[in-house]
Chain A
Amino acid sequence: MNLIHDFSPGLFVIQAVILLVLILLMRKFAWKPILDSLQNREEGIQSALDAAENAKKELQNLQADNERVLKLAREEKEALLKEARELKAVILADAKSEAEKESEKIIKQAQETIVSEKRAALADLKNQVAGVSLQIAEELVKSELTNTGKQQELIAALLKENSLN
């Protein structure tokens, strides 16, 4: 075989024309729409995948948010409860101390009253004793006027009695 001899210039020209026309025709009617559609489809798939991924992420975020909010609420509740408990303790302690103070005050007052009452009672008693003593003295004076001996005796007895005080 002789390659140079076999080379047909006419076939070469026809082939060039056919190939050129075929490339142009195929580009216009096949390759361009096909490649465009493929690209569109791939982009569509990619964007759908991205969207799904985003949605997933968003959902995760939302869940995390929910969890956070829940946790926050729980914490707040705890805090509130704690505060209330503390407040209760404080109030109780306050009330207790107040009551103690009050009771102490009352007791003190009572004691003071008792003391003053006692004093008054004693004074009264002394007065009464004095009264009784005066009556006795009166009686004695009356009887002495009748019996001097006896008066002497009585005074002695009275004095003896009185010295006990």
Chain B
Amino acid sequence: MNLVKYLAVVAVMFFSFNFAFAKPIATSSSQPVAHDVHHGGQSESHGGMVDTKHEIDAYKEHHLADSHDFHLFSYGKEERKHIGFSLPVIVWTTQGLKTFMSSAFHHNDDGTYVYSHDGVKLVKLHSKIYELNSGATHLSFDADHHPINASKVLDFSITKSVVGMLLAGLLMILGFGSLAKGYKKGAIPTGIGRVLEPLVIFVRDEIARPNIGEKKYRKFMAFLLTVFFFIWVLNLLGLTPLGFNVTGNIAVTVCLALFTFFITAFSANKDYWKHIFWMPGVPVLMKIVLMPIEVLGMFTKPFSLLIRLFANITAGHAVVMGLIAVGYTAREALGIPGGFGVSFLLTLFITLIELLVAFLQAFIFTMLSSLFIGMAVEEHDHH
């Protein structure tokens, strides 16, 4: 019961931060300004203030995408001031590797600002960096708002997601490093280790052991534990007002799922492959029919992993932002106190659920990973 209380307190804390950050936008735009908004989800129509439904949608989409600078909040009615810091951009262009700070784009995210750097012209459009084709001076769009005279560059920037990952890794190394060091002093951990040790035991006894088996689980513990805590910490970071959305990034979940896929494939024993390519105990015709199905299964398993994590976290972020936005969109119908009251209650509720989802998704990912590994290393009884 104490754990539940603790979680509730943390949820409320996270949530009130979120709300506090949302507030300045609300007060600064309490008087709706009629503006026509550009097509294509641009929120710069009145200096980055978020007010109308369209702007809210654009803001949401902008948040769900990765970002090249670390934006905390903005203020100011006439001239928007953005508080945050820029991050290093590392891109592989036609002219080779280029590195500079993201402030070079001057917070421009709609491709209108062209940054020339060592002979390459770069623009940033919806958090993606494009290189203008030679001869082009500005970005042109087709009817669907896709750039036509520029190509995407290979982007190794230290983006917000990368910062999030590094932060999560650092937290893990600090936390579990201290737990590991604590064992040198005595068998019973102290401090933060008291919280972390049961979690490690949970992963070992509830996830790895029952699925992989007593004999072989140890080999996969490093991966399972790292992935479990990595996903969980990143999910929780995503609930803070820092606004990380790392595990809601398709590239990140693809990478995580591929790790599971390769570990499963490389640790699989002969029986596993035999069950895929030449299923024992069924007629030859069935063996041939089953082969493509089983091969497909090999890929659908990690695919389900990556989609599940991505969709859950993205949906969670979208719902939280959507409910905060209720405060603005329902302002006219319910009045400012009514709109924000409803928004507050709904967001509080959903943030609590998101806190559960953050754990649940980490758990499910690790659980299924260990299940797949367990299937691959299982010793079959020969009939």
**Would you call A22 and B251 a contact (CB within 8 A)?**
no
**Would you call A7 and B251 a contact (CB within 8 A)?**
yes
Distance to closest chain B CB from A146 (angstroms): 154
The residue from B66, B221, B249, B254 contacting A31, defined by CB atoms under 8 A apart:
B221
| CA distance in complex: A37, B204 (Å) | 13
Chain B residues whose C-beta falls within 8 Å of the C-beta of A15 in the assembled complex: 161-162, 165, 251-252, 255-256
| Total contacting residues, chain A, CB less than 8 A | 34
The total number of A-B Cβ pairs within 8 Å is 121
**Would you call A35 and B221 a contact (CB within 8 A)?**
yes
Task: Choose the segment among B12-20, B114-122, B173-181, B365-373 that binds chain A (4+ C-beta atoms closer than 8 Å).
Answer: B173-181
**Would you call B176 and A14 a contact (CB within 8 A)?**
no
The chain A residue with its CB closest to the CB of B254 is: A12
Cβ of B172 within 8 Å of any chain A Cβ, yes or no, is: yes
Distance to closest chain A CB from B311 (angstroms): 10
Known A12-B255, A19-B255, A30-B180; contact A41-B187, beta-carbon cutoff 8 A: yes
Cβ of B324 within 8 Å of any chain A Cβ, yes or no, is: no
| CA distance in complex: A11, B87 (Å) | 14
Interface centre among B172, B197, B251, B259 (most CB of A within 10 A): B251
Distance to closest chain A CB from B235 (angstroms): 15
Distance to closest chain A CB from B131 (angstroms): 13
| CA distance in complex: A24, B173 (Å) | 11
Cβ of B264 within 8 Å of any chain A Cβ, yes or no, is: no
Known A13-B156, A30-B173; contact A38-B204, beta-carbon cutoff 8 A: yes
Task: Choose the segment among B26-34, B71-79, B222-230 that binds chain A (4+ C-beta atoms closer than 8 Å).
Answer: B222-230
Interface bits B166-200 vs A (CB < 8 Å: 1, else 0): 10010011001101110100010000000001001
| CA distance in complex: A21, B91 (Å) | 22
Chain B residues whose C-beta falls within 8 Å of the C-beta of A3 in the assembled complex: 250
**Would you call B66 and A8 a contact (CB within 8 A)?**
yes
Interface bits B48-66 vs A (CB < 8 Å: 1, else 0): 0000000000000100111
Chain B residues whose C-beta falls within 8 Å of the C-beta of A25 in the assembled complex: 169, 173
Known A13-B156, A23-B223; contact A30-B177, beta-carbon cutoff 8 A: yes
Cβ of A131 within 8 Å of any chain B Cβ, yes or no, is: no
Q: 3 tightest CB-CB pairs across the interface, nearest first?
A: A30-B176, A37-B183, A27-B222
B: which residues have CB within 8 A of A? Answer: 61, 64-66, 91-92, 128, 154-157, 159, 161-162, 165-166, 169, 172-173, 176-177, 179-181, 183, 187, 197, 200-201, 204, 218, 221-223, 225-227, 230, 249-252, 254-256, 258-259, 314
User: What are 8 pairs between A and B in contact, CB < 8 Å?
Assistant: A6-B249, A9-B251, A14-B165, A15-B161, A19-B226, A31-B221, A35-B200, A38-B204
